[in-house]
A and B are shown apart, each in its own frame.
Chain A
Amino acid sequence: MKAKFLVPLAIFLALAGFLGYGLTLNPSVVPSPLIGKPAPEFRLAKLDAPDERFGVEDMRGEVWLLNVWASWCVSCRAEHPYLVELARSGGVPVIGLNYKDESDAALKWLRDHGNPYVATVTDNDGRVGIEYGVYGTPETFLIDRDGVIRYKHVGPINRDTVRKVLMPMIAELSSAG
């Protein structure tokens, strides 16, 4: 048996090892050091009104979601109907953080697919994204009345995430105090 004929097998076994390990990981759960910490402050231009600024401070006293999205992100398109549904139900205000995007494209995207956001701020150079430890879009942060991050979801949310995870936590946070 010549060694070079074993190369494909070796490559495959290494790959299979990674795939197996990958099964134990959940790509949507990321241990975030930010949970339980105050949400990093920002004051960014609003997407639809670049002269106005908006920040975490404006949401103090409310339980809200910060959704990191971009018009170039395919998964954002997948979660979008659920965000729209969530916004329509009126349970929680959603703030959009438009991440590394072009404002024209982002505005068009909202017009095309519906706008679930109470406000969207633009983070074109991704600086605020870095402070929030954004790995990729979409990501969703649940922030309480005191501006503390309580939960983080990586990847698209779906009906189950909304019903089984977000809604119960929102209800709990809203009723507390």
Chain B
Amino acid sequence: MIAELGHFALILALVLSIVQAIVPMVGAAKNRIALMSVGRSAAHGQLLFIVISYVLLTYAFITSDFSVKLAASHSHTQTPLIYKITGVWGNHEGSLLLWAMTLSVWTVAVSIFSRSLPEAFMARVMGVLGWISAGFISFTLFTSNPFERLLPAVAEGRDLNPLLQDPGMIIHPPLLYMGYVGFSVAFAFAIAALLTGRFDAAWARWSRPWTTVAWIFLTAGIAVGSGWAYYELGWGGWWFWDPVENASFMPWLLGTALMHSLAVTEKRGAFRSWTLLLAISTFSMSLLGTFLVRSGVITSVHAFAVDPARGLYILALLVLVIGISLVLFAWRAPKLAGGGSFDLVSRDSSLLANNVLLAVVTGAVLLGTLYPLFMDALNLGKISVGPPYFEAVFVPLMAPVVILMMVGPFVRWKRDGVARIVRKVGPGLLLSVVIGVGWAFAIGHVTWRTVLGLSLAAWVLLASAKLLQERFADRPGTALAVRLRGIPGGWWGMWIAHLGIGIFIIGVTMIGSLESHIDVRMSEGQRAELGGYTFVFRGAKFVEGPNYEAARGLIEVFRGDRPWTTMTPEKRFYVASAMPMTQVSLDIGPFRDLYVSLGDQLDAETWLVNLHIKPFISWIWAGCVLMGLGGIFAASDRRYRRLAERAAPADAARQAG
């Protein structure tokens, strides 16, 4: 009964999404306020019913109702409660429902926080979001019904894949979806702008905070996913250029370009059609990612169960949404006036250059991801593209992005002189190379990659310091507090996020250069040395988890003679799914992680133990945290709130007059 109620609630949500897709659009076309405002109510109702549907599905998982097929395949009576709850999205059907719910949350957020926007514009935004929602809910209902019954019910479920029974997996998908789906707001604003023909700086200003917030979620989602791969897959890598990782990385790259492009459009009115195109493409990349994961066209570790009907449905959705948007773009965008003009040497053009580079990188990643498919379709054979390709194209393309990223803020808007810029950044750039080379020698690992990485990192840090110093020197004679208050949140956001990239590069370069590991046979009392640490094996004992059995090793770690920590790696065996799992034990530190995992048991007393030292890996996560933090600063710039307040009376006045 519960499952049928959930199914019914989802059908009601679909009906409301169709109402939301059509009625406000008609209202906007006929200029009827009553019809326009239907969009908001429909969106609110839709959220209510999706939440009901989602809660009921979760209920089936929690109560181990194995007459629901999805619960039977992805849950188990012994699964810990938290993984019963997260198991709901650990599969294709449930995660689609989460996708739809996330979209609904964003839609309602837009309807609440954008009350000050002109009614006709909002009606179109609601309409566009309604169409996307209708597409995804119908996809769920018609091809991937999460409430499908399994009759007769089975006595026991097959349990959630043990790889997904992990804290990282609790938050990774929702964060990622908040990011993916969040770009639908910028997309809807862009389409609404194209439909109304109203495409001025105001459009960019409204879109900016939404885009930034979506970008923050996506950044966090990718970082958590990468962290999960690092400790859960058991071999300590953190990025694999897997097609599905790329699927989340491409919207991130374009989203980054979009944020910056929106900034130029808002401040200077320039690049309007480029910004529009980016808003469309960023969301298109989110959709494409969804297609890649769920259609089975690409083989990947992440890929969900393959079903041609699903692939066809989502491809049709892709063609409709992106195709119509691009037709609209080709039709309306040429009418846009050029906007502000700028010289070749200006901050405008440095941002444009970075934008183009980011788009090219996205193209290169897309090409590498789809290359096997292209070759196959053209009958040129089957091949696979691995990390060597991606590293070979990614590093040289991103290096200029990072250099420009820290040159741009020193350059003036509209027009600047080459000589002035060289004076400003020249010494810093030279010094960075010197530091990079010296640093590489200091750590005893001189390869071009290490030198490049460390020089880039040095450049980001030096330039950040100089930017900060210049900003403070801006108003001499005033108190520090006054100067601090004078700096807008947006500037801090930029500064922190860019600094985060520098920290991130240090992490990537150092771990690539200095990582070390040994595998040792250890029986009780034996010791091994690695990187100044002594590891003493104290045996392994049998422990029983809720839905697994494990051998838990006990390893005492000494630094010199001093006891440092105790580590407990596990070798788990998940009973229901009959899968062995390696549970890594980590000692996280600012300059290195100790990473210990248990290999095979060789005899009653002896185990193979893998000891790793991962230098500076935390800097990778710290870099991501700083990027996200920068996003938060930028999104909470009080300028947006002031504008929202100011816009309201102005609109009221316009409508009255």
A:1-35 near B, CB below 8 Å = 1-2, 5-6, 8-9, 12-13, 15-16, 18-23, 25-28, 30
Q: Are B312 and A112 in contact (CB under 8 A)?
A: no
Measured in the bound complex, the distance between the Cα atoms of B234 and A27 in whole Å is: 27
Measured in the bound complex, the distance between the Cα atoms of B599 and A112 in whole Å is: 4
Q: Are A5 and B333 in contact (CB under 8 A)?
A: yes
Known: A23-B308, A136-B384. A18 touches B373 (CB 8 A): yes
Interface flags for B363-389 (1: CB within 8 Å of A; 0: not) read 000000010111011000111101100
Q: Which of B60-68, B295-303, B499-507, B645-653 contacts A (4 or more CB under 8 A)?
A: B295-303
Interface flags for B281-310 (1: CB within 8 Å of A; 0: not) read 100100000010001111111000000100
Q: Does A84 contact B (CB under 8 A)?
A: yes
Q: Which residues of B contact A27 (CB under 8 A)?
A: 296-299, 372-373, 376, 382
Q: Does A174 contact B (CB under 8 A)?
A: no
A-side interface residues, number (CB < 8 Å): 42
Counting from the closest, the 8 A-B pairs by CB-CB distance are: A136-B384, A22-B297, A9-B326, A135-B382, A111-B599, A5-B330, A78-B301, A155-B299
Q: Does B344 contact A (CB under 8 A)?
A: no
Measured in the bound complex, the distance between the Cα atoms of B580 and A21 in whole Å is: 38
Give 28 pairs: A residue, B residue, CB < 8 Å, sorted on A. A1-B331, A5-B334, A6-B330, A12-B284, A13-B323, A15-B370, A16-B315, A16-B319, A18-B370, A19-B295, A19-B297, A19-B315, A22-B295, A23-B295, A27-B297, A81-B579, A81-B580, A108-B519, A108-B599, A109-B235, A111-B599, A112-B582, A113-B234, A114-B580, A114-B600, A115-B600, A135-B381, A137-B384
Q: Which residues of B contact A85 (CB under 8 A)?
A: 578
Q: Are A9 and B233 in contact (CB under 8 A)?
A: no
Closest to A79 in B: B301
Q: Are A23 and B311 in contact (CB under 8 A)?
A: yes
Measured in the bound complex, the distance between the Cα atoms of B331 and A1 in whole Å is: 6
Q: Does A150 contact B (CB under 8 A)?
A: no
Q: Does A77 contact B (CB under 8 A)?
A: yes
Q: Which residues of A contact B315 (CB under 8 A)?
A: 16, 19-20, 23
Shortest CB–CB separation between residue A92 and chain B, in angstroms? 18
Known: A5-B329, A23-B295, A111-B600. A12 touches B377 (CB 8 A): no
Q: Does A154 contact B (CB under 8 A)?
A: yes
Measured in the bound complex, the distance between the Cα atoms of B299 and A6 in whole Å is: 32
A:75-116 near B, CB below 8 Å = 75, 77-78, 81, 84-85, 108-109, 111-115
Shortest CB–CB separation between residue A100 and chain B, in angstroms? 10
Which residues of B line the A interface, CB within 8 A? 233-235, 240, 242, 273, 277, 280-281, 284, 291, 295-301, 308, 311-312, 315, 318-319, 322-323, 326-327, 329-331, 333-334, 370, 372-374, 376-377, 381-384, 386-387, 519, 578-580, 582, 597, 599-600, 608, 610
Residue A8 contacts which of B281, B299, B319 (CB distance < 8 angstroms)?
Answer: B281
Measured in the bound complex, the distance between the Cα atoms of B578 and A114 in whole Å is: 13
Q: Are A75 and B299 in contact (CB under 8 A)?
A: yes
Residue A22 contacts which of B318, B322, B373 (CB distance < 8 angstroms)?
Answer: B373
Residue B386 contacts which of A6, A19, A25, A72 (CB distance < 8 angstroms)?
Answer: A72
Known: A5-B334, A27-B298. A16 touches B323 (CB 8 A): yes
Q: Does A156 contact B (CB under 8 A)?
A: yes
Q: Does A74 contact B (CB under 8 A)?
A: yes
Q: Which residues of B contact A155 (CB under 8 A)?
A: 299
Q: Which residues of A contact B233 (CB under 8 A)?
A: 77
Q: Are A111 and B323 in contact (CB under 8 A)?
A: no
Q: Are B334 and A2 in contact (CB under 8 A)?
A: yes
Measured in the bound complex, the distance between the Cα atoms of B235 and A22 in whole Å is: 32
Interface flags for A135-161 (1: CB within 8 Å of B; 0: not) read 111000000000000000011100000
Q: Which residues of A contact B578 (CB under 8 A)?
A: 81, 85
Q: Which residues of A contact B582 (CB under 8 A)?
A: 112-113
Shortest CB–CB separation between residue B363 and chain A, in angstroms? 9
